[in-house]
Structure 1
């Protein structure tokens, strides 16, 4: 097969398919998407899989948790011997430095976790014996992915470790600590991990930097920021958890986060308020345009229909009204639901 296999949140397959199709067309690549709602993945098919892989970097994709280059689709697999047809499909595909056996993060895919584990234990030595997989993990080589969508139906794909999620299924496994004020803390933790690279995290999250958390209650995002030793103005008419308030890095201001503005420029602004996405995009652009903050992370709550169209519109609106060159990255995170998370920083 020629094309890409991308994982996504269950129920967002049409949005992923629309995004892949549009981005391929913008790159001048003839391709079409294949997706079924609730499958947890979408395919982008065409004549030149290598061109698609180059033209659609994983970091630029919003609804894709993982991006893989398709090698083969295997249907009608015999449960007594799935290894032989897979080895045949991989003939001439080169060597791989690592192997992941996966399944979609969907209602139909999750029961395949046991099969994935047992098959991986059987396949690994067979691949090494055939010279397809290195004896030890080698990040310089492509990574082999075998994705079971049913017991008798799988895809074989490859990943460039530099151009894809570094976590199985594209899901970072984060633990909610006991003192986290709410589960929303995981959203910001994942955003910092997924949308910023290691160098950016070191440069942009330094002790003593200042931040505003708009709509802060009960304090999940503020809690994440003070764990990075930032000084935070937590803006919300609602209450914050007492242990967050007890930090000498937090000032709680009872005000409407949608209208409050700082008296002096801040390093960061974060926002997870429930509001119409276009209204949020415009307000976030005002913060950047007026110089009230340098860097921002905010969520856009998407409507039930035409979610890809609304995503494009809101991101275009934000970029146009911000009034200055920005690097903007957006993704539907694992800990997001009907929303996407956006990171913006000066270019």
Structure 2
């Protein structure tokens, strides 16, 4: 393709976990179909991204039609893009890329230089480090740098001479480079699973300070060794940790944790709690039924839970789990918000969040 050919159809670029391109593609086709937009996808296995190309409508109009990143489970980022532009001149890649950017807008809040999150794309890291400084200078000198409310510019590199050029819309995109939160493993945390719950808080909660207030109560099902309990205690929340396994002793020393050695599926709290968190290794349908029961009975106001997906028909299994929860809520379904996301710190699993609307 010609590096300056901006007649290339606009596409929707979705970043995802390598190995989940099939699920990401199926989801975007289903969602755009619901919005009345037909098209096709490019989804190379283990590439870490999917491109949706509309047949007759510019992709950026999908934002106005209601395509939302928060409604997509397997996508980390939502970019409306031109490209890919190939055979970028090695002597000056910057100007062709900036020229393409001008076809997408007059001002951008910032520019992200990105690759897919795959082992194959890691070889581009050295190139991007060298390219970043001169591009940043040229970007600022070009007059394209605007205010924080402007769209973000994305340069998504497939190689050192091929890239998509796109934009993400404030409020309908992920704020993190490559859609990946740069979380630091906290000192004293019992396991790396603690990062899953921290990312879930950042992803699902509009106001974490309000939703995670000191003195709240929580139940952690399948708590051992305490990675998720650690996150709750960090917010000074009182936790009932339910697991037959051992809990990190330092958590018990906080005075905020009660450890109950029993089956997570049998425990019910004596009175409703503010939070239920669940990272039990079990069939996803059984977890969905458990979450649906807790919510329908009013045993918790909010819940975050993980679903360990099977090897095959993973998207179908997610939809099945949603149906199980919604069926359990019945006529009260409209009183709740239910969302799913495959987080960066998830692996072959997704994270769910359900909350009761405050009246």
Task: Give 1:195's aligned residue.
Answer: 204
Mapped pair 1:217 → 2:224: yes
CA distance in 1, matches of 2:71, 2:264: 29
Do the aligned residues in 2 keep the contact of 1:215 with 1:257 (CA within 8 Å)? yes
Query: 2: CA distance between counterparts of 1:250 and 1:129?
Result: 55
Q: Distance in 2 between matches of 1:155 and 1:238?
A: 48
- Unaligned 5+ segments in structure 2 are 1-8
Distance in 2 between residues matched to 1:132 and 1:210, nearest whole Å:
48
Q: What CA distance in whole angstroms lies between the structure 1 residues aligned with 2:328 and 2:121? A: 42
Paired residues of 1:226 and 1:232 also in contact (CA < 8 A):
yes
Q: Distance between the aligned counterparts of 2:93 and 2:132, measured in 1? A: 11
Q: Hey, what's the Cα distance between the residues in 2 that align with 1:125 and 1:72?
A: 23
How far residue 204 of structure 1 moved from its aligned partner, in angstroms, is 1.8
Structure 1 gap segments, 5+ residues each: none
1:4 aligned onto 2:9 = no
Distance 2:11 2:158 in 1: 17
CA RMSD of aligned residues (A): 1.3
Establish whether residue 33 from structure 1 lines up as the match of residue 41 from structure 2.
yes
Shift of 1:111: 1.5
Structure 1 consecutive aligned stretches of length 4 or more whose deviation exceeds 4 Å: none
Counterparts of 2:174 and 2:246, CA distance in 1: 36
Show CA shifts across 1:12-62 (max 9, x none). Answer: 111111111111111111122211111111111112212323322111111
1:141-179 CA distance string (max 9 Å, x none): 111110111122110000112211111011111111220
Q: How many residues align?
A: 342
Tell me what 1:83 maps to. Answer: 94
- What residue number does 2:156 align with? 147
Determine if contact 1:100/1:120 at 8 Å carries over to the other structure. Answer: no
Superposition deviation, residue 91 in structure 1:
3.5
TM-score by length of 1: 0.95
TM-score by length of 2: 0.92
Q: How does 1:23-62 map to 2 (within 5 A)?
A: 23-46=31-54, 47-54=57-64, 55-62=66-73
Aligned ranges 1:60-75 → 2 under 5 Å: 60-75=71-86
Whole-angstrom distance in 2 between the partners of 1:72 and 1:131: 22
Q: How far apart are the structure 1 equivalents of 2:14 and 2:63?
A: 11
Give the whole-Å Cα distance in 2 for the aligned partners of 1:14 and 1:127: 35
Instruction: Pick from 169, 172, 181 the counterpart of residue 181 of structure 2.
Output: 172
SS in 2 for 1:115: helix
Alignment of 1:263-278 (within 5 A): 263-278=270-285
